[in-house]
Amino acid sequence: MHELAERIQAGDIRAMAKAITLVENNHPDKLELLSDVFSIKKNAHYIGITGSPGAGKSSLVNRLLTHLRELGLTVAVIAVDPTSPFSGGALLGDRIRMQQHFTDPGIFIRSMATRGSLGGLSRATKDSIRVCDAFGFDVVLVETVGVGQSELDIMKVVDTTAVVLTPNSGDVLQMFKAGIMEIADLFVVNKADLPGVRKLKVQLEELLMISHGEWMNPIVETVSTENKGIDTLWRSMTEHLAYLKETEAGIEKRKDQLELEVYDLIREELWKDIQTFVEADEEKQKQLREENLDPYELAGEWLKEWKQRGRMGSS
C-alpha cells in the first residue's frame, strides 16, 4: 500500500492534505495512491451545493457545518473557486467565510481552483472527495463555482446534489433550459425571508411535474443568515441518501457514476499521453503556429501517428 494511504488510514491529517496536493498536481504516483485510497473508503455522504453566484451557497454551507458538528458528525469541505483565465490564480473566498471553523478538529476545509476545468469543478475534486472519505469524515461537502450551464459535472461526483435558488432571481427558467433542474436531488430556496418565495416554489413545482421521476425532489426554504431551515435541509439530504441505498434506481445511479468515472480516468490519461507526444516534437510545435493551420487535418494526422506509435510499442 502507498505510504500516504497507510498514513491516511491511520488518521494522519497532514498525509491527507499532502495526498490532495499530489492529486491536484497530477503526480506520477496519483493512480497508485488513489487505488489504495479507494480500497479503504468508509462511505461518507457526498453532498454537492450548487447554484448561481450570489445565491448564498457559502453562507448556507457555513450554517450546515455548525449543524452537523452539533450532531457529532465530522465534515470535510471542498470549495471549488474559479481560476482567472489571465493570471491563472483563484480568489479562494470560502476560506474567509468559513474561518470560524478552522480551529475545529472535526472540520477540514480545502479550497480548489478550477484551473480551467469545465463543469464548475476542479478535475481533482472527485479524487479529493475519495481521500477525505478514506480519512474517515462522515460527510464531504462540495461547494461549486456557480457558473450556470457548465455546472452539470457535480452530479457525477456526489450522492446528493442541492441546487440553491433565491426569490426574484429569475434563475428557474434559465436553469431548466441549461439542464441544471435535472441534476437536482433537492432544491433550496435560500433568502426565504425575501418577497417572491411562493411564486418561486410554484414555478419549481410546475417544472418538477414535467421532469418527475421516482424520487420526489424536496423544496426546502432556508434563511442562512438567521439559521432557519437548516435542520429540515439536513433531514432531506439524509432521506435522499437512504433512497440511494434502498432503491433500485438509487443503486443504478451509483453504478452509472462509477462507469463515468472509469471513462473519465481513461480520457485523462490518454490526453496526457497525447499532449506529451506532441510537445516532445519540435516540428509539431512549429506546425501548431502556422498561419494557415488546418486543425482538422492536423488532429487526424497526429492521432493516426499516435495510434501507430502505440501499436508499434506493444508489438
In a domain, 251, yes or no: no
pLDDT over 90 (residue 89): no
pLDDT over 60 (residue 312): no
Considering only 133-147, 156-170, 202-216, 228-242, which range has the smallest mean pLDDT?
A: 202-216
12 and 135 share one domain: no
In a domain, 162, yes or no: yes
Query: Confidence class of residue 178 from pLDDT cuts 50, 70 and 90?
Result: low
* pLDDT on residue 188: 93
Considering only 43-52, 89-98, 110-119, 297-306, which range has the smallest mean pLDDT?
A: 89-98
165 and 284 share one domain: no
Give dist(CA 157, CA 134) in Å, integer.
Answer: 15
Choice between 76 and 311, residue whose per-residue pLDDT is larger: 76
CB atoms within 10 A of CB 242: 11
What Rg do the C-alpha atoms of the chain give, in angstroms?
A: 21
DSSP string, 225-247: GGTBSHHHHHHHHHHHHHHHHHS
Give dist(CA 48, CA 30) in Å, integer.
Answer: 24
28 and 47 share one domain: no
Entry field: residues in the chain: 315
Average pLDDT, the chain: 83
74 and 173 share one domain: yes
19 and 45 share one domain: no
Q: Which domain holds residue 54?
A: 41-246
pLDDT over 50 (residue 85): no
To the nearest whole percent, how much of the chain has pLDDT over 70? 81
Considering only 59-73, 154-168, 199-213, 291-305, which range has the smallest mean pLDDT?
A: 199-213
135 and 272 share one domain: no
95 and 168 share one domain: yes
5 and 147 share one domain: no
**pLDDT tens-digit profile of 102-131?**
788 899 998 887 654 544 466 688 899 999
Contact between residue 181 and residue 212 where contact means Cβ atoms under 8 Å apart = no
54 and 167 share one domain: yes
136 and 123 share one domain: yes
* pLDDT on residue 90: 41
pLDDT over 60 (residue 137): yes
- Which of 65-74, 101-110, 171-180, 301-310 has maximum average pLDDT? 65-74
137 and 283 share one domain: no
284 and 242 share one domain: no
| Domains identified in the chain, total number | 3
* pLDDT on residue 102: 72
Contact between residue 162 and residue 237 where contact means Cβ atoms under 8 Å apart = yes
In a domain, 255, yes or no: no
pLDDT over 60 (residue 230): yes
What CATH number is attached to the domain comprising 230? 3.40.50.300
Choice between 264 and 89, residue whose per-residue pLDDT is larger: 264
CB atoms within 10 A of CB 18: 15
Give dist(CA 94, CA 206) in Å, integer.
Answer: 34
- Exposed, middle or buried: residue 174 (CB in 10 Å: 0-12, 13-18, 19+)? middle
**pLDDT tens-digit profile of 28-80?**
888 899 999 999 988 899 999 988 777 888 889 999 999 999 999 999 999 88
Give dist(CA 166, CA 122) in Å, integer.
Answer: 25
